[in-house]
Structure 1
Amino acid sequence: MGIFKGFIKGGIIGVASEVLKSRSSSSSSSMNSFSPSPLFSPSSSVPFIINGPIGEINRVITEKTFKTIKEKMSKVDTPLAEKVKKSIENIENWQRTLDNGKDSLDLNKRIMRLLAKEDTNLLQADHLYVQRSTYTHHGLYLGGGEVIHYLRGEGITTDSIETFANGAQVFVKKSLMKYNREIVIGRAFTRLGENQYNLASNNCEHYVCWCRNGD
């Protein structure tokens, strides 16, 4: 994932550290397991850059760091820990949106999709996508020629794969899938009818990724 500017005051690391500190003020074990020093190591891909609401860049955080922080915050049952997790998820969703836009507008990739053979051997819970004019639209394959997807103005709905494709070729995206296919489909239906579409933080691709891996 590329670079994205967040807005968490003091930086996510500082907030997360305070959460763990308050959880176990009488013991240093929690903080020892969450030492800030390795979190600044640019060891994985391109780092995220996190800004405070005012001022200079506070922290450079890698994707591995985000994952580590979310795992640790999941073990802390406090409102602040939930806010830290939600903030990271929002940043990741924003980045997916930016990546989607760059990918859909990349001329070489658009040409390759036009020339590529459509994926026809679809499996239940496959992550599908189609090229629209200036973006890619994503959905989850339910099987039997049906797709569940998030539409702006309509919410999460089911349609035939023909309606989903709208004349475009259908491709399978190899996104992360943490759950088995039955669980993925079950997760998809828990949000059927939701109508809170947000291009930046709750769009069609975010929904499919949530169904498949929880993020």
Structure 2
Amino acid sequence: MNDSGGKTAEQQAYITRFLLDYTAVPLAGGTFLRGVLPARDAVRVVTGTADTVAPHELVSYEVPLSDEDEEPVTAPLVLGWTRTLASGPIPHTDATVMGMPLVRVNTTVLEPADSTSTDQALRVLRTLAWPFVETPPSPALCGFLFTGQDTMRLYLAVEKADGLIAADVQLTGALTALLAALPSLIGEKERWVTDTSDPHCVHAVDLTTW
């Protein structure tokens, strides 16, 4: 992965880590985070009601990774913009991705919602529980998407791949063993297949029956 791609993956992984709590804590009203899709120079934040996995019931908001001054956007800003969008009606769009409406966000005219007391509490707890380290996790988790009631697609940065690998995993079963084996499993090229329905990865790996 080239340096530019590495920096993009690093920022996508940072945003993904920051937003993870909102799979369980509502973004606004009854709207939750259902995925973060890594796109070219952007993240696509997927929202929907709790436990929703049907694409037509989800919305994907494409947020650029840099602002008008070409400075990297921060994860709290992405959260604020997403909350503003999730608090109002779904903007009209004719674009779709993976069966979901795709809204390309103009962050220059969108006001981010203020942080909440829950956001502040999560920030304190997250910082203490997961302190910053110089060496990020490897492989880096650059995104995810709930694909079923007990399945999830993970988007991982693998050094030997020219892009991200999507790993489909089951959330029940021997999770401890799967997570321990995951770094080596996704690096096995014989497992790689092409998924033309998903533009967010270069290869996919099915580990749901592993």
Structure 1-normalised TM-score? 0.25
Instruction: Name the one with the larger strand percent.
Output: 2
Instruction: Name the one with the larger helix percent.
Output: 1
In our comparison, the structure showing a higher alpha carbon Rg is: 1
